[in-house]
Amino acid sequence: MTICLALICLLFAVNIVTFCVFWWDKAAARRGAWRVPEHKLLSLALFGGSLGAFAAQRLLRHKSRKEPFRTRLTAILILHAAVASVGLLALPWVLAGHVFQS
């Protein structure tokens, strides 16, 4: 279970960082300062920070009306939900050792 715990901690950290980057970008937008490019925000979401990005979008009202950003973020969130669902369904077999037996 240590690998699962490490993965959960890593995903938690990525989501916190993603939320903070969205927050920083929102503050920069208000000040008229340098902004984080959209592809970098979406990359953070794709590499594990989709929940942080979604939370920031809702709580901070940041990029909530901007298309195609909103659609792409939703697609990433759906992809992550599907991967997590498959992972959770496969977990009993992986833990029982059925998947990796020769």
Q: What is the pTM of this model?
A: 0.85
Q: Which residues of 76-91 are buried (b: 16+ CB within 10 A; e: fewer)?
A: bbeebeeeeeeeeeee
Q: Which amino acid is at 25?
A: D
CB 39 within 8 A of CB 5: no
* Residue 96, pLDDT above cutoff 80: no
Q: Dump pLDDT digits (tens) for 38-92.
A: 999 999 999 999 999 999 999 998 888 889 999 999 999 999 999 999 988 987 8
Q: Which of 66, 64, 41 is nearest to 52 (CA)?
A: 41
Least confident of 21-25, 47-51, 74-78, 98-102: 98-102
Query: Rounded to whole angstroms, how far apart are CA atoms 74 and 82?
Result: 12
Query: Rounded to whole angstroms, how far apart are CA atoms 30 and 37?
Result: 15
Query: Rounded to whole angstroms, how far apart are CA atoms 44 and 94?
Result: 28
In 3-80 the beta strands, taken as DSSP E runs, fall at none
Q: Which residue has better confidence, 95 or 102?
A: 95
